[in-house]
Structure formats: structure tokens, C-alpha cells
Amino acid sequence: MQRLYFLIPDKDTTTDIVHELSEMGLSKEEMHVMGKDWRPLEKEEGVPRATLIQTTDVVNASRRGAITGGAIGVALGLIIHFILDGTHIVWMVLGLGAFGTLFGVWTSTMVGVSVRDIKVAQFDKQLRQGQMLLMVDVPSEREEDFKHAIRGHHPEVVIDKVRPRDKSRHGGEGH
């Protein structure tokens, strides 16, 4: 799956694009909208509002926290085993590894909630001016089909996605 970001000038154009994408086989669950006037789209069209999962780095932060916390927990378990010369190395390492993983997920998630997604942050100014951002999850092999269809009917719409250069400029990974 590939996430495409459609920066759309107004609600009516957003409604048209939602209908076009639905006709191309996308479900409403694969589309998420954000902007000043998103409520009518959710109410009338059934397009869900973008949640923290789509607008922040929470998912990737929790993943990084699990890996880092688990590794630190396992290392601490090994260190404690050798310092105390214990006989229950497996339980010590597994217990501290599990604790480290859970603690890493919890702390990283708290940080990730406050970090904007790479592309959402890029469009903050336009969103404050009243434009709409439609995030759409499309099959990777059909990405160009969706872009071509929308560009053909709505040349004023900016279409973007997360690229490797975006990830390198951002502390998190985005979507």
C-alpha cells in the first residue's frame, strides 16, 4: 500500500474526488480527510476524519521504542545476570526484555503523538487557509492510475507521497 496526499482547494472538489476514488474501487475506510471544514465530508460522504495514527508519527515511534526498549532490557538482563552471577539467566533476560519493550513502546508513543507526520506538517499552512488534505491508501501497483485520473479531472489538486528524501529530513519515518 502507498499513501497518497491530495491537497484540495475546497470542500466541493474534495467531495468530487471522494466520489471518483470510490468509483475506482477505494472504500471510505481507505480515505481520511483533514482541514477546517471536514465535518460535512464525514457526515454527508462518510469519509472519516484523519486520526492521530494518520497525522502523527505515533506508529513508527512505538515501533522504534519497542526495538530500542527490548534491546536495552535484554542487555540489562545480561549485565545483571553476570553481576549477580544468577542461575536463572533466561527468566532475567526475558523479563527485562519484555519490560524494556513495553516501557519503550509507552515512552516513544507519548513522544510520537506530538510529532507531526512528514507530509501533514508540510501542508499545515494551506490547511490553516482552509484547504483540505485527503489521505488515501492505494495499492502500490495502482498508484499511477489514481494519480492520472485525479490529475485529468482536477489539475488544481496537489498530489504527493512520502519519498526517501522526506524521511531523511525528518526525525521520524512518517507513513
CATH code of the domain covering residue 19: 3.30.70.120
Place of cell 466541493: 12
Q: What is the pLDDT of residues 128-151, one digit of tens each?
A: 888 888 888 888 888 888 888 888
Paired strand residues for 49: 33
Q: What is the pLDDT of residues 34-69, one digit of tens each?
A: 887 767 667 776 777 777 777 777 888 899 999 999
Paired strand residues for 133: 7, 34
Q: Which helix (H) or strand (E) holds 149?
A: helix 143-153
Are 67 and 137 part of one and the same domain? no
Total domain count for the chain? 2
Q: Can you tell me the distance from the alpha carbon of 167 to that of 174, in angstroms, rounded to the nearest whole number? A: 7
pLDDT at 75 over 90: yes
Q: Three-state DSSP class for 88?
A: coil
Please state the rounded mean pLDDT for residues 20-33: 86
Q: Which helix (H) or strand (E) holds 161?
A: strand 158-161
Q: Residue 106: pLDDT band by 50, 70, 90 thresholds?
A: very high
**pTM (2 d.p.):** 0.69
Q: What number of H helices and E strands is found in the chain?
A: 9, 4
pLDDT of residue 166: 56
Domain that holds residue 153: 2-55+117-168
Please state the rounded mean pLDDT for residues 115-134: 84
Percent of the chain whose pLDDT exceeds 90: 16
Average pLDDT taken over every residue of the chain: 82
30 secondary structure, DSSP code:
G
Cross-sheet strand order for the sheet of 31-35? 31-35, 132-138, 2-8, 158-161
Residue 131 lies in a domain: yes
Residue 77 lies in a domain: yes
Q: Are residues 65 and 105 in contact, defined by beta-carbon separation less than 8 angstroms?
A: yes
Are 22 and 49 part of one and the same domain? yes
Provide the CA 71 distance to its chain's centre, in angstroms.
24
Are 140 and 108 part of one and the same domain? no
The set of residues, in sequence order, having a beta carbon less than 8 Å from that of 145 and lying 6+ positions away, is 24
Please state the rounded mean pLDDT for residues 5-10: 88
- CB crowding 50-83: b at 16 or more within 10 Å, else e: beeebbbbbbbbbbbbbebbbebbbebbeeebee
One-letter amino acid identity for 53?
I
pLDDT of residue 158: 87
Q: Residue 98: pLDDT band by 50, 70, 90 thresholds?
A: very high
Are 98 and 121 part of one and the same domain? no
pLDDT of residue 163: 64
C-alpha cell at 57: 508519527
pLDDT of residue 104: 94
